[in-house]
Amino acid sequence: MKPPTITPGMRKDERRHRRELCLVGAWLYERRFVVATEGNFSLRIAPHRVLASPAGANKGLLNARDLVVTDLDGRRLRGRSGPSSELPMHLEIYRQRPDVRAICHAHPPVATGFAVAGLPLDKALLAECVLDLGCIPVAPYATPGTRELGETLRPFVAKYNAILLANHGVVTFGPDLLTAFFRMETTEQIARVTLVTHLIGRQTLLTKADVECLLASRLPPRSGRANPSTRTRTGAPAREEEDPSRDRRELDLRLSAALRDLHDRR
Ligand SMILES: [Zn+2]
């Protein structure tokens, strides 16, 4: 299939995407979800184009020019250095999930602890986490930076938006960069809460009725009820599609505010 031409308009968008990716790199580093040169993230900027973090760089100190554009086979199209060696994992997700536009991979310490222990985060402890992510499974170990890493993820990509990578870390994805990042934060949060309940020695799980009640309160008024054919793995109905242009505006506003805050603090 012939790749689409990059138009001048898309280049302008690409500059904004580069700034947003650098901001997410700073957030991941500030929260200690990555240290040294760990982690990688990417954004699908056109049907066959991916803008990705470079190999071997500290993600908190990235410059917009450091990012790399590749095609869906991982061939570098623009950029001074090569893309992350873990790009094949991203490409596997993009190929399987046309709805996914952004991917974050990091090593947040508590969630990574669960990945090392081989324990999925699959308890209904926090309603918001259950609704957004459902279960968070553990994919089998594969050597980081190899194609095998993408292959071990393959059975999980269609069903989940956050996956623990055994003896490695976490990968999260979504329809935009902010959602992919939030899912990384949420995964670490549910791991922390799960750990604390283990330390306390007690877990009170949400009941199915609790989850359904919360879900009903969040359904848009016009829809009334969920389509039972779109139930998620946890039994909760999937959220209805929202107006993508509204999501985009909200994302733009939140990222602009965050960029201003970051700039003010420097
Ligand atoms: Zn990694």
State the pLDDT at residue 128: 78
Residue with tokens 């020019």: 65
Report the Cα–Cα distance between both ends of the chain, in Å, rounded: 45
The CA 31 to ligand 1 mean position distance, Å, reads 16
Q: Are 48 and 94 in contact (CB under 8 A)?
A: no
State the pLDDT at residue 219: 59
Catalytically annotated residues: 86
Question: Which CATH code is given to the segment(s) 8-208?
Answer: 3.40.225.10
State the pLDDT at residue 236: 38
The CA 143 to ligand 1 mean position distance, Å, reads 9
User: Could you tell me how far CA 100 lies from the centroid of its own chain?
Assistant: 9
Distance CA 204, CA 193 (A): 12
State the pTM of this model.
Answer: 0.78
Q: What residue ranges do the domains of the chain occupy?
A: 8-208
CB count in 10 Å sphere of residue 221: 5
One pLDDT digit (tens) per residue for the chain, 266 residues: 343 333 344 466 899 999 999 999 999 999 999 999 999 999 999 999 999 999 999 999 999 999 999 999 999 999 988 898 999 999 999 999 999 999 999 999 999 999 999 999 998 898 878 778 888 999 999 998 788 888 999 999 999 999 999 999 999 999 999 999 999 999 999 999 999 999 999 999 988 888 778 677 665 554 434 343 333 344 333 333 444 444 444 444 444 454 454 445 44
State the pLDDT at residue 12: 64
The CA 149 to ligand 1 mean position distance, Å, reads 10
Residue 163: strand, helix, or coil: strand
Cα angle 37, 71, 29; round to 5: 20
The CA 86 to ligand 1 mean position distance, Å, reads 7
The CA 153 to ligand 1 mean position distance, Å, reads 13
Residue with tokens 């009903």: 216
